[in-house]
Each structure stands twice: as structure tokens, then as C-alpha cells.
Amino acid sequence: MIKIAILGYGTVGSGVVEVLNTNAALIARRAGQEVGVKYVLDLRDFPDDPVQSKIVHDFQVILDDPEVDIVVETMGGTKPAYEYVKRSLQGGKSVCTSNKELVAAYGAELVHIAKSRNVNFLFEASVGGGIPIIRPLNQSLTADRIEQINGILNGTTNYILTKMAREGSDFEDVLKEAQELGYAEKDPTADVEGFDACRKIAILTSLAYGQQVDYEDIYTEGITKITANDFKYAGKMGAAIKTFGTSKKIGGRLYAMVAPQMIKSDNPLFAVNDVFNAVCVTGNMLGDVMFYGKGAGKKATASAVVSDVVDAVKHMNVNVMTIWEDEKQVVSPIGEMKNRFFVRIRKDEKEKVEEVFENPEFIDAGIDGEIGFLTEEMAEDNFEKTISGFDGFLSRIRVGF
Ligand code: HSE
């Protein structure tokens, strides 16, 4: 039997125990041997839970136990997760984690340590929850040059935008309701400001090109400024508004961004609604391939973590090669990225729009005193410069059609 230790008995950690218990027999068959939990590290005690007999409060107990071959890290954050994960790998234990903050910040270093110790650092659950995307990037899409990754990577924002579209409600109202129902965190900043999706697209892009992409370099825009009026225009155009984590290589240059975009039904991500996530990867040979499923939630995320545990058991003393060099990839400045924009503007500036923008396409959603228009594709800094000459500029959203 393989003995594992779980760091953190929160939502995902307890989900890992549940998945291991529910599917014990088939997991044992697929892993080639039984998988048993020896320790669960948590600050708290759980007197009414059978896990209590395995609870330890001191990480050193796990580190010092040669019977523990695999450490599952489901604590979240980087402190103390980084230190615990690093010491586990250095101590010759494989690590499986769901922690995107940890992977985005220290992925290259931890992959390198795992390789040097002939163990594995696996992180399928860190992006897209239960959706297989890390292993496909690492093992299945290896014949292709990745041209683009486009993902709906945050369930909370997708839920909010879906509800705004269906009910015509404003952001603040839907957020409040989502918080009351437990779909959004009390502090929703990381989700609604795009920081969560930013870490996820940084991880995917690092893996796609085998080199470190710093999430701090990725332009990130949240959904807090999207209004019910924006959806009126979207409805008129038959478009949806979704938040995307996007990265693409054009002429050897890397562009990346997290931002809301309008898309139409010809985009495979158009129908991805509610808390679901999806990632569309474009390869130069394969074309588009899409991965869809539950991007969060206890059992879905734990399922991905346990799949990593099975992989680690199957590869005891063999490092599954992950290419993630720590040499940094340069992300091109956002001002140089080319996009189309949907713009709302005071109606009295319509003529000026016609003079200044090339071929603007106007949309009237019947809102008093304003008009919308679509620009042609243009560099972001050119757009910003041009639009700054309009007193009546109200808002803009990027357009993916
Ligand atoms: N807060 C995240 C989301 C959870 O809403 O998608 C998964 O990382």
C-alpha cells in the first residue's frame, strides 16, 4: 500500500479523502496498489470525523516518516505551502497540489526540484478544477506548436455574467445574490478582478511554451465595470460577454491578457455558462481542441488531485518530464496587442466617431442619450489614444468576433 499525507483538511482536502474512500477499489486497480491516507495536517481538530485519528499538527511528522511517499497539498496560498511542498520534494516525496497561487509563483522551481530528486510535482487541479488540461498540455498536445489558449477559467465570474445576461441585472446585485448562495466568496476580489484567472492562464502559458510566464506581466481586467446596459447591446448583436484568460504567439511574440470579451455563437466557448469552465487550445497541426467541465467544487477538484496521486503511484521513482524552464518569457506590452472594441459613447459624438474611427459599425440598443459602435481591429494603445479625445466616452469591451 502507498501511504499519502494530506496538507489541509478544507474543502478540497476533505474531498480527496471522500474520493479515495468512495472509489477505493478502482483507484487501487488503476494505481496498481492500494492508496491509504496516513496523515492529515491541519491546525484544527475534527473530533466527529473518522479522519481525526490521522490528524497531525506538525508538518515535521510527515516529513520524517519514510512510509509517506506522496504529499497532497490542498492548503492554498503560498505560506506555508511553498515551504512544505519544497521540503517534501527535497525529502524524496512526490507532491500533488490544487494550489494555483503556489504553482503560478513557484512552478518552475518545484518542477526542477522534483526532477532532480526523481519524484513528481503534479498540479492538474490548479487550473480548471476537475477539467483535465495540465496533463493534456504536458502529454497529449506534444506534437503541436501551441498558437493560442483561450479559456473561461473562473467559475464565479462566469456565473455572475451568465446571470446578468439572463436576468438583465446589474453586477452588484448578482454578486450579492451569488455571495448569499455561497457561489462567490465573502471577499470576491480575486475572482471578480481577474487575479484568479490570471494565475491560471500564466500556468497554462508557461506549460504550453515550456518557460516561465510571470502572472504579474499579464494585463488583467475584471468584470466589475460590466453593466446591464452592456448586455443590452450584446443582446442586440447576438453576442455573449465572458471573461477570458488568453495567450497567443504571433510572429514569435507572446501576448497574454485577462479581460471580458464579447463573443458570438461561432466561438466554441459561447455556450459555456454558469459555473462551468472551458479551455480552447489551438495547435498548428491539430486546430482547435476544447476542454469543458466543472472548474471548481469539492468533488470535481478532488477528483483531479486524486488522478495526480494515481499518476504519482504509477511513476514511483520515475520523473514524468514536465518542461518548465525558469528563464522568463517576455510578454509583449498590452498597448501593442491588437483587438477590436465595442464602445459606448454619448450620442452627440456619433459624427466625430465617424470622422476618427475607420468603418465604425453602430449599434443602437435604445438607451437614451448614447450609442454603441464596433471598431476595426487596432492596437490597444492606438485605441486608448483615439478614445481619449472623446468627452462622451462611456465604456469599452473587447470583441472576439
Ligand atoms: N474561485 C475559483 C473560481 C475557484 O470561481 O473559479 C477555482 O479556482
Contacts with 351 (C-beta within 8 Å, 6 or more apart), sequence order:
none
Q: Which of 38, 115, 200, 294 is catalytic?
A: 200
96 Cα: distance to centroid of ligand 1 (angstroms): 18
H/E run at residue 6: strand 2-7
C-alpha grid cell for residue 358?
475607420
The set of long-range contacts for 103-110, using a CB threshold of 8 Å and a minimum separation of 24, is 103/199, 103/203, 104/199, 104/200, 104/202, 104/203, 104/215, 105/78, 105/215, 106/78, 106/82, 107/203, 107/206, 107/212, 107/324, 108/206, 108/212, 108/324, 108/325, 108/326, 109/326, 110/85, 110/86
Residue 385: other Cβ atoms inside 10 A: 11
pLDDT tens figures, 22-70:
999 999 999 999 999 999 999 999 999 999 999 999 999 999 999 999 9
126 Cα: distance to centroid of ligand 1 (angstroms): 10
The residue with cell 519524484 is 119
Measure the CA–CA gap between 377 and 6, rounded to whole angstroms.
49
Please report, to the nearest 10 degrees, the dihedral formed by the alpha carbons of residues 153, 110, 40, 297 taken in order. Answer: 10
pLDDT tens figures, 380-391:
999 999 999 999
The reply to whether ligand 1 has any atom less than 6 angstroms from the CB of 156 is yes
31 Cα: distance to centroid of ligand 1 (angstroms): 28
C-alpha grid cell for residue 382?
492606438
Q: Which atom of ligand 1 has the smallest separation from the CA of 277?
A: 6
102 Cα: distance to centroid of ligand 1 (angstroms): 15
Closest CA to 120 of 164, 166, 144, 89: 89
Answer whether residue 289 shows pLDDT above 90. yes
pLDDT tens figures, 208-259:
999 999 999 999 999 999 999 999 999 999 999 999 999 999 999 999 999 9
Bridge partners, residue 39, by sequence: 5
289 Cα: distance to centroid of ligand 1 (angstroms): 22
Residue whose Cα lies nearest atom 4 of ligand 1: it is 296
Q: Where on the phi/psi map is residue 398: left (φ > 0), alpha (ψ -120 to 50), or beta?
A: beta
Q: Which atom of ligand 1 has the smallest separation from the CA of 100?
A: 8
At 247, is the secondary structure helix, strand, or coil? strand
Record the pTM: 0.97
Answer whether residue 360 shows pLDDT above 90. yes
Please answer whether residues 103 and 203 qualify as being in contact, where contact means their C-beta atoms are separated by less than 8 angstroms.
yes
Amino acid at 55: I
Crossing angle of the two packed helices 11-22 and 298-314, in degrees rounded to 10: 60
With 0-12 CB in 10 A as exposed, 13-18 as middle and 19+ as buried, what is 103? buried
How many distinct helices (H) and strands (E) make up the chain? Answer: 14, 19
Residue whose Cα lies nearest atom 8 of ligand 1: it is 296
C-alpha grid cell for residue 247?
495567450
Q: Note the Cα 181 to chain centre separation in Å.
A: 22
Question: In Å, what is the CA distance from 132 to each residue of 99, 204, 295, 304?
Answer: 15, 12, 10, 7
How many percent of the chain have pLDDT more than 90?
Answer: 99
The reply to whether ligand 1 has any atom less than 6 angstroms from the CB of 296 is yes
The reply to whether ligand 1 has any atom less than 6 angstroms from the CB of 196 is yes
Q: Which atom of ligand 1 has the smallest separation from the CA of 301?
A: 7
Q: Hey, which of 102, 191, 201, 223 would you mutate to test ligand 1's pocket, going by the most ligand atoms within 8 Å of its Cβ?
A: 191
Q: Hey, which of 153, 158, 196, 243 would you mutate to test ligand 1's pocket, going by the most ligand atoms within 8 Å of its Cβ?
A: 196
pLDDT tens figures, 112-156:
999 999 999 999 999 999 999 999 999 999 999 999 999 999 999
17 Cα: distance to centroid of ligand 1 (angstroms): 20
The reply to whether ligand 1 has any atom less than 6 angstroms from the CB of 217 is no
| Helices assigned H by DSSP within 55-194 | 59-63, 81-90, 100-116, 134-135, 155-167, 171-180, 189-192
Would strands 338-346 and 393-399 be described as parallel, antiparallel, or unpaired?
Answer: antiparallel
Measure the CA–CA gap between 329 and 212, rounded to whole angstroms.
6
Please answer whether residues 399 and 340 qualify as being in contact, where contact means their C-beta atoms are separated by less than 8 angstroms.
yes
Query: Considering Cα of 127, then 129, then 131, then 136, what sign does the dihedral take?
Result: positive
C-alpha grid cell for residue 256?
497574454
At residue 36, the pLDDT reads 98
With 0-12 CB in 10 A as exposed, 13-18 as middle and 19+ as buried, what is 244? buried
At residue 182, the pLDDT reads 84
pLDDT tens figures, 81-123:
999 999 999 999 999 999 999 999 999 999 999 999 999 999 9
Active site includes 200? yes
